[in-house]
Amino acid sequence: MRKWVAVSLVAGGAMAAEAAPNKSLSAGEQPGAVTQEGQDEGYQLASATSLRPVARPAALQQAAVEQAAAEVSFKDWITEFKDRAGAQGISTPVLDSAFDGVRYDPDVIRRDRNQSEFTKTIWDYLDSAASDLRVKNGKAALRDQQARLDQIEAKYGVEKEIVVAIWGLESSFGTFRGKMDVIRSLATLAFDGRRGAFFEGQLIAALKILQAGDVAARKMTGSWAGAMGHTQFIPTSYLDYAVDFTGDGKRDIWSDNPADALASTAAYLKQFGWVKGQPWGVEVTLPKGFDYTLADRDIEKSPSDWAALGIKGHDGRTVKDHGPASILLPAGSEGAAFMIFHNFAVLERYNTADAYVIGVGHLADRIMGGSPIKANWPRGDRALTLSEREEMQERLTSAGFDTDGIDGKIGPKTIGAVRAYQVANGLTPDGYASLHLLQRLR
């Protein structure tokens, strides 16, 4: 269930994980679409006012020549791919139907190339993910699907509010499911080669879905990168986890009826160990003098043990014992702090970015009547660009704080390197990869 949506969200210290779980629904490292109710699908749109020079006639002519060449090569690639697909059991009629009229799509490649250029801070992301309008629409969606969601919760043991929150972030409760031809998009990406093997695997999975009869080729629509339906399943995850909740013989996540998609989302979370009754996390307050090196996903303590160190809920009470928990500081010492539990890691299977998981969890809490996040955020900060994130990794590594590669992803290894640098230089060791820290490294 999750997309491989197009945009990297780097929330300062919020991680877009450096290694996605094996069964993650994400094809990228960014949080989900968080469609602005009635506006854009995701954060993949640049400003309407661009400083880039307008393409000149010669450049346009060259682009046309390159596209024409790509289309010829694409046709040849399809011919070769059909042989490989046939060897994996895809029938000739299915292949012919699937590729009927399919052409190379340069717009898909443009989106793939640009997906790491645009960034959002975690607070900007959460402002949209759990906006008053989204909460209102989430409550309405919950009421509208109440009976069905109660059945899904009873069967899979996943709270209906979590399912609705994922639905809200992935497709604005079904209003932005994606209209692009999945076969065309996946074939274009597989042909392109940047992640060719991955997308060819997804294309084979999509063809298996067609062969099973769950949907017709031209009705298999989704995002530019092939995520499908109300809760944005990629094809391999669909094959492994989608369910026929309505009992009509099809696992239909594309139609206006969201039943199969919502049940499939719950089935997915159950498969990865969702614990009913356990929160994803709880916002907490930290005591003065808190040892920020303890804010580490690898360090787990019971809520009572954290309370002994001065960490409590905003009501001043010890957080209920929901099991081992870690302390998460997605924007460092100047932002909100969360005590996170096992279900946080389960949600990461849907999308590995901390901002996405917090967005889902917090939206679900708000739909249940919970309050907004109480702590302030360092709103004067901005997110680092891709080149700045890479520069930070390079400078940390050069200074002896290994980030385990230069990829522009602020994940656990990079956060650990940031924290080690902060300790060595007498700074607050909160692991927050900020612009201020980069300027200091320079």
How many Å separate Cα 172 from the centre of its chain? 14
Amino acid type, 9: L
Catalytic hit among 18, 29, 161, 170? 170
What is the number of residues in the chain? 442
How many CB atoms sit inside 10 A of residue 40's CB?
Answer: 13
Whether 170 is a known active-site residue: answer yes
Rg (CA), the chain: 23
Catalytic residues: 170
